[in-house]
Structure 1
Amino acid sequence: MAQSAQNVARHVILTGPPGIGKTTLIHKVCGSLKEASIPTQGFYTEEVRAGGKRTGFDVVTLDGQRAPLARVGSDTSHGGREYRVGQYSVELKSFEQTALPVLSLKKMESGHYPVFVIDEVGKMEMFSKSFIQAVGKTLSAAKTTVLATIPIPKGRPIPFVEEIRARKDAVVFTVSRENRDALLAEVFQAVKDSYKTFGS
């Protein structure tokens, strides 16, 4: 029996400190969605390591495309503005060329949207105004379901991130070392309920 839309959150948001396992949980949820024949589209971020040290991050789409998101100490300004978060220089053009197409609001042959996966909406990604606009449109469009990760508040809040956290049509799960394994079933069910309620 279908649940009432009033009792189902449309978007599912994961938050928690860096390295706690949010991306791993996203991968597992996407695997469960695939087994349930629920289509997904989007991207995740992945650490890049060399010699045992983290040297940056890549953006990886769910269909396997990969591009640099940030690198330690690299100069990507090319005569223009350089975008930095701590020791990392953000590869803005590379990120936009890879991430923005998978957030395009194109319906599938079935006439429905896939579940949009956005890992993550954070400081590095926020340098892109086009990305902010795309995420906003995806969250606000009719009949969309978004599974996204956002950072926990630390220092000065990021206004757009806090807007997402406060959305009345979203449920927020805080991932910890204690609950990250147990959350899989709950997060999967929340996304599945949303897709069946709003996307069909």
Structure 2
Amino acid sequence: MDFIQKKSGREEGGQDSMSSLCPELGGLCPESGTDASLLSEPMPGKRECRVGQYVVDVASFEQLALPILRNVGSCGGLGPRVCVIDEIGKMELFSQPFIQAVRQTLSSPATVVLGTIPAPKGKPLALVEEIRGRPDVKVFSVTKENRTRLLPDVVACVQSCGK
């Protein structure tokens, strides 16, 4: 299984969450590149999940992401499946069911996972470090300088994992 690691948490004009996988399900905030459908004002009386200035709508995130991850193994077709997860970061880790679904997807022998994780900085994120340390994970460090040259290596790695 392969994971691509971004050098910084966000590429220029980058996206967060599952918006790149399902763009029809939510728009991007143009000023931040953050998926607008997954950020909201806190509900009165509910615990507020924050990353910086953003409040994460965990319930909406789970409604979007969990069915996709849980159904990866049931997709038709021959051969291995490729599951794209962009990204596993602070916002996503507020959801314990998401963490469990990611672990289950990574452990599925019929699924190749291509995803993004943040570069190590500050306090380590437990699931991110767990993924980074898996023996079946290949980490590519993506920079502005190498991002256009990495594509053939990533494609070759995904293809070889599917055999």
Q: Which amino acid aligns with 1:146?
A: V
Question: In percent, how many aligned pairs have the same letter?
Answer: 44
| CA distance, structure 1, for counterparts of residue 147 and residue 67 of structure 2 | 30
Question: What displacement does 1:12 show?
Answer: 3.1
C-alpha distance 134-141 of structure 1, shift in aligned 2 (>3 A) = same
Q: Among 146, 152, 168, which residue is 2:113 paired with?
A: 146
8 Å Cα contact 1:15-1:22 kept in structure 2: no
| CA distance, structure 2, for counterparts of residue 46 and residue 135 of structure 1 | 24
Alignment pair present for 1:161 and 2:141: no
- What is the TM-score with the length of structure 1 in the denominator? 0.69
Q: Per residue, is there more strand in 1 or in 2? A: 1
8 Å Cα contact 1:145-1:194 kept in structure 2: yes
Cα RMSD of the aligned pairs, angstroms, is 2.6
SS of the counterpart of 2:124?
coil
1:1-200 paired onto structure 2 within 5 Å: 10-20=1-11, 47-49=28-30, 53-54=31-32, 57-58=34-35, 68-70=37-39, 74-104=40-70, 105-110=72-77, 112-195=79-162, 197=163
Aligned length: 156
Question: What displacement does 1:19 show?
Answer: 2.9
Name which one, 1 or 2, has greater alpha-carbon Rg. Answer: 1
8 Å Cα contact 2:58-2:95 kept in structure 1: yes
C-alpha distance 123-69 of structure 1, shift in aligned 2 (>3 A) = same
The gaps in structure 2 that reach 5 residues or longer are: none
8 Å Cα contact 2:7-2:118 kept in structure 1: yes
